[in-house]
Chains A and B, each alone.
Chain A
Amino acid sequence: MVTNTLLAAVSTALPHSGAIIHLHGIDWAILVVYLLFVVGIGIITGRGSKTSEDFFLSGRSLPAWITGLAFISANLGALEVMGMSQQGYEYGMMTANYYWIGAIPAIVFMGIAMMPFFYGSKVRSVPEFLKKRYNEGARFINAFTFAVFTPAISGISMYALAVVMQDFLGWHFAPSVWVSAVVVLVYTFMGGLTASIYNEVLQFFLIVLGIAPMTIIALIANHGWAHFKKWIATHQLPFLTPDQVAAAAAKPGSVVHQMPATQWMHTFQNTLTQNNPMHITWPGVVLGLGFVLSFSYWCTNFLVVQRALAAKDMNSAQRTPLLAAFPKMIFPFIVILPGLLALPLLPHLFPGNTTVNGHLIPATESFNNVMPLMMARYYPAGLLGLGLTALMASFMSGMAGNVTAFNTVFTYDLYAVFIKPNAPDKHYLWVGRIMTVVGIIISVGFAYVVRGQSGIMGYTQTIFGVVNAPLIAVFLLGMFATFTTPAGGLWGLLVGTATSVTLWIIRSYPGLPLWHHYNNNTTGAFWGAVWAFCAGAGATIVVSLFTKKKKDEELVGLVYQLTPKPEQDATLPWWKKPLVLGVLALVLTLIINLLFW
């Protein structure tokens, strides 16, 4: 179904993009400078880690701009850079809903409404908040799932990066995995959270400055935005359900539906029906993604909350997510846009194409690899070193984020509660260091497991998402309602998670009649999250009505109604006021949403 002009473009593209990338001396030089710096930062910050609170929470001493940038960077694994550009190609601007609907509102809510309780209650982790507000059982469930899944997710990211390095640079799997793991280990072991956060800030700038040129170059290659829009206006693109993607991959040349490429330029067009590239409807996006999934992730996941807990005071803790919201809202332009702009440049990446003009298309020529393919095609030696170092940095920041969150939750919420309570602080500092090594070994091990059985990758990510989906119900009812009881919170977590998992199992068997109208995973996941939220909230409320609540005195600092309102510092300039920053972030997000409606 590809037009003649496309065929011509592809045939010129193939000899370059199909080749393995060869690095020059300058590319190696940039990579080596980067590795020396991240290790150096680990050594320098390591000198300051004397107590467990230094190691796990940076001694609660960092300014907001640092924790804010780390907040974005820790969450930005290699999978995000690779995955978002892939989805930019596959679905277009609709992918930006993961940012403009699925991140910013939750991040702003977290900074303004929830951070005062996380930071103000002086908890050291999110599970510890659940212990204080509800009970030990709620803490255990949250800490256990987090400790099990976090290193696994990090292993998946490690596997994904190693595969890219293998396919494009010809590096072997083992050295790719072990070298990156050892570098992350060295700096997180020595400097703990401070080293992780400091490097995350360096990595943030590196990711931006290494990947942003791709958007600029892709625009030049398209002869400008106006010319690109003309291409979009005159072309059709494949419209694939996940089943069709699988079918097209299994049976090359099978016919898929097409829709106008203009659909790729909008975030919400045709979402009344599923007649859009992502097959989603707007209520699913707003409620499922924008509310339940995004609030559960951004407001309760310790990986991101930990960065704010490292801030030096309440105002900085609140501003951590709020300052992060601004770069986050422009990230689609550097991670999604290159994928979208690749459509006219590398038009053969949809599944189902095997040959173009008699050339055999290699397996690496898939939209999964659109970012490294674009780098291979348009980055000359030098810039290529910067771009690949940025990809590596995005992976390392994600991995260090996972490991530092894992060692904290394991030490404070599992070890210090169930294995050895009341030990001296020095002991926990060492447990944290040992768990850093253990976390990285588990990650590496999981990368090997996934390598042998790649289906596990999708399952692990999905299950983690499914387990976390209803968390926000229990947190909101804990922070903003006085009547909820410890038993209510515990049952809310159990019922919410059970509902989420059950719905996922039902969705996974399309033969079952209940779920037939959610004919794709994304819509199913959005609605599954909504129902799991309702079940979790319902269980919390019902059980709370019949069980004993904690005394009001115990809930001061944890529940909105029972916490004295902090006095507003009138001398703060406007750009340090959380509410002003939050409103500004929301208004700008609304404007961007309207521009790409």
Chain B
Amino acid sequence: MMDLRLPIGIFFLLVGIIMTAYGVVSPHDIPNITEKVNINLYWGIVLLLFGAPMAIFGWRAEAKAKEEMNKNKKP
């Protein structure tokens, strides 16, 4: 069965990219407060930092599982 970390990682990478890009292209500060915080940029980076290792670990596990399946098929 598919390693769940892979789709979760890809999902947050995608959403992270969307938010980070939006934060760069069209900076929005948090409304109704005095401090200037480009929250889409920062939170987009948080999502990327979460999504990337999930996707990498998931992808490696998938690759390993496939390799073992192939080994078992050969003998």
Please give the residue numbers on chain A whose beta carbons come within 8 Å of chain B beta carbons, in ascending order: 12-13, 16, 26, 29-30, 33-34, 37, 40-41, 44-45, 48, 61, 66, 194, 198, 201-202, 205-206, 209, 213, 217, 220-221, 377-383, 386
Instruction: Please tell me which one of the listed residues A33, A213, A220, A380 contacts residue B11 in the complex, with CB atoms under 8 A apart.
Output: A33
A382→B19 contact, CB < 8 A: yes
State the majority secondary structure of interface residues on B.
Answer: helix
Roughly how many angstroms separate A381 CA and B26 CA in the complex, as a whole number? 10
Report the bound CA distance from A593 to B7 in whole Å.
Answer: 37
Are B33 and A205 in contact, CB atoms less than 8 angstroms apart?
no
Q: Judging by beta carbons under 8 Å apart, are A378 and B31 in contact? A: yes
Inside 8 A of A30's CB, which chain B residues have their CB?
15, 18-19
List of 5 A-B pairs having minimum Cβ-Cβ separation, nearest first: A380-B28, A382-B40, A221-B33, A382-B22, A37-B11
Question: Could you tell me the distance between the alpha carbons of A37 and B8 in the complex, rounded to whole angstroms?
Answer: 9
Chain B residues with CB under 8 A of A382: 18-19, 22-23, 28, 39-40, 44
What is the bound-complex CA distance between A48 and B46, given in angstroms?
33
Q: From residue B24, how far is it (CB to closest CB) to chain A in Å? A: 11
Distance in Å from the Cβ of A222 to the closest Cβ of chain B? 9
Structural contact, A217 and B22, CB atoms closer than 8 A:
no
Residues from chain B with a CB closer than 8 A to the CB of A34 are 11, 15
Kindly state the separation between the CA atoms of A16 and B14 in the bound complex, as whole angstroms. Answer: 30
Give Cα distance in the complex from A66 to B2, angstroms: 12
B55 within 8 A of A: no
Interface core residue of A12, A206, A217 (most chain B CB under 10 Å): A217
12 contacts between A and B (CB under 8 A): A30-B19, A45-B2, A202-B7, A202-B8, A205-B8, A206-B11, A378-B33, A382-B18, A383-B39, A383-B40, A383-B43, A386-B19
| Size of interface on B: residues with Cβ below 8 Å to A | 28
What's the least CB distance linking B30 to chain A, in Å?
A: 6
List, in ascending order, chain A residues with CB within 8 A of B14's CB: 33
Interface string of B1-41 (1 = CB under 8 A from A): 11010011001101100110011000011111101010110
CB pair B18 A26 closer than 8 Å: yes
B8 engages A209 (CB within 8 Å): no
Task: Kindly provide the distance from the CB of B62 to the nearest chain A CB, expressed in whole angstroms.
Answer: 12
In angstroms, how far is the closest chain A Cβ from the Cβ of B2? 6
A382 to B43, CA, bound (A): 10
Roughly how many angstroms separate A48 CA and B12 CA in the complex, as a whole number? 25
A350 to chain B, nearest CB (A): 21
Contacts of B7 in A (CB 8 A): 37, 40-41, 44, 198, 202
Minimum C-beta distance from B36 to chain A (A)? 11
With A33-B11, A40-B7, A201-B4 in contact, do A378 and B32 touch (Cβ < 8 Å)?
yes
